[in-house]
Structure 1
């Protein structure tokens, strides 16, 4: 991808000055004649032969950020096309990075409480919009007076959207120093994970160090499941007991004892006189099995997000997965799948469509990641998937696009459908052959093993479905 320079114009956005770059993207101050005030362009590093997690992070951030609003997130302006120059354009956020403030820690208790209240208020607003941040850390918080603005939604999870990153990997995702225990175990759905991260930040602000250090290995991250951090009072002898109690409740491994709602954290920080201070000792080894068992018990996501369970009982499926074979030789079949998909999404106005295509990987040997011209096969497939779905005319909030990399297309589709609680799958079936009858087909595997209803689309020899 071509490197940008001051004065470059991308879709009408003029780059005016570079900002501090991150590990996954470059940041630019920008201007646009149709948008008032300074803007920021975030341009991801998408190496054609690199890890697809960067592309997934960009796609996830675009899907989620465009759905967010309010004073605690940057204003979303636009997103670039993956086929040309991908970018996210957003409003410039004035204020100070919490990353610079944390370097001055330990801070006075009153300042720690003020910052904590600002972040808890921002988290409560984010969670009300159905989003868990999952990478809350000082560098992703801007403080403008008593208002906190949260940045970078590349690892976030939206309750009503597929979990792109969670589908790609079960390894822990986030920043090790602030990651919740359930995130270490691969769970990415609970707002309480952000509250744990907030507790880590408050501990660091008050005590001057991270509660669990900065482990670089998964076993090191898992230590927080059974090793409590040193008591905050040892690092900050003058900390009020009520503030120490709030931090400790944020850092509970057992989510039944942790704060379940960021708004309650904010309330306690506003009303310290109402905080009940309990006795806290070292972690009991006798209680470890019970604590681990509680940690593995997954909460009902509908209860978490407030989505009524009866909303999924209307006529027609709510969540539809369309598995698309983009092989050029399958043009008639792709058109027939499009027609069947259009019929299903028209059945109810609140349905949502996931368009999925599978890039086959090699079980033995190296898997090719670029084409003959050096272009990313993954991005090319993603662009082709969007082109295929364009005739459906669905608004952006009702459709998403996913390229899965797998040895077995059938296994990838089934795993995706189960992970995202899909109601109905649309899949094509190629013409029969002796070899396919012997080895089995992707569609037959999906029909046999799917935990939801499936429509199989076939095309007769004359090209009619």
Structure 2
């Protein structure tokens, strides 16, 4: 581990989680306590940890206000890092040791979380991992932590582009997240509804499922009403909780601000049959929701994300191991030429890290460096001459056994408009087995430019 990054001198490890390490730090230009976040890069590390770290590097510097840590800097060498102010406070995790909480405390904590979410949503960000460990109570307010799974309305969503499975905390994940839909602020309201349920009853509304099939049950399987588990739960609080646990996002509170208002003004909560419900829905109702098409939930995609899907994506397949300097220059020139005609386009630099089919792969190289991270760093160096702003340039390392099939899948899943790749020099293997460029050009769902150097 390094002892200095970006001018920040690293101190002791304060916390070591499953995906990141937090260390104290000092800097001559910053007087207050500082925290530096580094990704965990041990053997067998999940590539999603690196991608989510990239997302936080993109999002956190764009946030401000009293409900988020102040970002002091980000960088990528000698490994990715994020420097931020060190908030003096305590997460909501200790609350779980004394559940269920008094009703007044449930409402107060919920209102503070809703106010923090309101401030976040107004900045175009959906958190997507609202849970006690990511909520810190500080001087009568809640500060949101960890934006690695978040969605920014005006930035590329790397988690969606590279992974098909949903990421989040199972007890609090909204149905639309389970189905792979990100970017809806109502997903955070569902998570808060699940948290309010736990604080009120002492148990999670949907347990802690570990398999996808069990997670999907929340699309048709309603939890026991809070009043069935805790009779002194007031009807207005049950109304709020069950409303935000609705499967369809449009049936939850319209905004986090309105949810906070209801929690602080219970006398003004408009109550429906949810408020007095004492039993779960009958089996017949669950079966109808599960199998009858008229009862399938109509989950909506985020309008901003859908609108942005029309922006062109130029995918550049970068073969870091088989590219000469002359070919790199030629490909960069082609990217610049095409981007000049598409001012709203984004460039996605993609490299495939080949894995083996029949034997396990090591995630660290002989020098102890993470292979995925090293490829990302090389991609960044390759793309630097393009001089594109961060919002118009992304980098992706895809781990797979077959380069051509992986590039084609990425292009198909992300509706790529144009693919640029380089042609390798002639070789016996290329003549016998064919080339990745030829396979991609043959089967691509969009236009393809193969950059080839002139002989001689």
TM-score (norm 2): 0.87
- Structure 1 window deviating more from structure 2 (259-268 vs 69-78): it is 259-268
Deviations 1:368-403 (A, max 9, x none): 544443433222211111111111122333322111
Aligned to 1:181: 175
Is the counterpart of residue 165 in structure 1 residue 159 in structure 2? yes
Separation in structure 2 between the aligned mates of residue 428 and residue 288 of structure 1, nearest angstrom: 54
Is the counterpart of residue 50 in structure 1 residue 51 in structure 2? no
Are the equivalent residues in 2 in contact too, given 1:102–1:205 (CA < 8 A)? yes
Separation in structure 1 between the aligned mates of residue 372 and residue 450 of structure 2, nearest angstrom: 26
Is the counterpart of residue 394 in structure 1 residue 388 in structure 2? yes
Aligned to 2:281: 283
Aligned to 2:369: 375
2:233 corresponds, among 221, 236, 239, to 239
**Structure 2 SS opposite 1:66:** helix
Is the counterpart of residue 255 in structure 1 residue 249 in structure 2? yes
Separation in structure 2 between the aligned mates of residue 436 and residue 328 of structure 1, nearest angstrom: 12
Separation in structure 2 between the aligned mates of residue 228 and residue 452 of structure 1, nearest angstrom: 43
C-alpha RMSD over aligned residues: 2.9
1:423 corresponds, among 417, 429, 433, to 417
- Alpha carbons of 1:300 and 1:52: their partners in 2 closer, same or farther (altered >3 Å)? closer
Is the counterpart of residue 12 in structure 1 residue 13 in structure 2? no
- Alpha carbons of 1:442 and 1:261: their partners in 2 closer, same or farther (altered >3 Å)? farther
Question: How much has 1:350 moved relative to structure 2?
Answer: 4.3
**Structure 1 SS opposite 2:335:** helix
Are the equivalent residues in 2 in contact too, given 1:29–1:41 (CA < 8 A)? yes
Written as runs of structure 1 = structure 2, the 5 A alignment for 1:194-233 is 194-233=188-227
- Alpha carbons of 1:392 and 1:442: their partners in 2 closer, same or farther (altered >3 Å)? same
Deviations 1:9-64 (A, max 9, x none): 44322345542332222222322111242111112211255332322222222122
Separation in structure 2 between the aligned mates of residue 287 and residue 254 of structure 1, nearest angstrom: 16
**Structure 1 SS opposite 2:15:** coil
Are the equivalent residues in 2 in contact too, given 1:259–1:265 (CA < 8 A)? yes
Separation in structure 1 between the aligned mates of residue 427 and residue 104 of structure 2, nearest angstrom: 74
Are the equivalent residues in 1 in contact too, given 2:353–2:397 (CA < 8 A)? yes
Aligned to 1:460: 454
Separation in structure 2 between the aligned mates of residue 424 and residue 289 of structure 1, nearest angstrom: 45
Aligned to 1:411: 405
- Deviating above 6 A after TM superposition, structure 1's stretches of 4 or more consecutive aligned residues are 432-435
**Structure 2 SS opposite 1:23:** coil
Question: How much has 1:296 moved relative to structure 2?
Answer: 6.4
1:73 corresponds, among 51, 68, 72, to 68
- Alpha carbons of 1:151 and 1:418: their partners in 2 closer, same or farther (altered >3 Å)? farther
- Alpha carbons of 1:325 and 1:194: their partners in 2 closer, same or farther (altered >3 Å)? same
Written as runs of structure 1 = structure 2, the 5 A alignment for 1:303-318 is 303-304=303-304, 312=310, 318=312
**Residue ranges of structure 1 left out of the alignment (5+ in a row):** none
- Alpha carbons of 1:396 and 1:139: their partners in 2 closer, same or farther (altered >3 Å)? same
Question: How much has 1:290 moved relative to structure 2?
Answer: 6.0
Are the equivalent residues in 1 in contact too, given 2:126–2:151 (CA < 8 A)? yes
Deviations 1:132-168 (A, max 9, x none): 2221101100122442211012222334444433444
Separation in structure 2 between the aligned mates of residue 118 and residue 424 of structure 1, nearest angstrom: 46
Aligned to 1:106: 100
Separation in structure 1 between the aligned mates of residue 284 and residue 433 of structure 2, nearest angstrom: 52
Are the equivalent residues in 2 in contact too, given 1:62–1:79 (CA < 8 A)? yes
- Structure 1 window deviating more from structure 2 (342-351 vs 198-207): it is 342-351
- Structure 1 window deviating more from structure 2 (108-117 vs 446-455): it is 446-455
Separation in structure 1 between the aligned mates of residue 38 and residue 235 of structure 2, nearest angstrom: 45
Aligned to 2:327: 333
1:154 corresponds, among 124, 148, 151, to 148
- Alpha carbons of 1:296 and 1:326: their partners in 2 closer, same or farther (altered >3 Å)? farther
- Alpha carbons of 1:372 and 1:13: their partners in 2 closer, same or farther (altered >3 Å)? closer
- Alpha carbons of 1:347 and 1:125: their partners in 2 closer, same or farther (altered >3 Å)? farther
**Structure 1 SS opposite 2:16:** coil
Deviations 1:79-123 (A, max 9, x none): 2324x2432111122333111234333223232222222212222
Separation in structure 1 between the aligned mates of residue 207 and residue 23 of structure 2, nearest angstrom: 32
**Residue ranges of structure 2 left out of the alignment (5+ in a row):** none
1:21 corresponds, among 10, 16, 21, to 16
2:89 corresponds, among 86, 92, 95, to 95
- Alpha carbons of 1:291 and 1:149: their partners in 2 closer, same or farther (altered >3 Å)? farther
- Structure 1 window deviating more from structure 2 (241-250 vs 396-405): it is 396-405
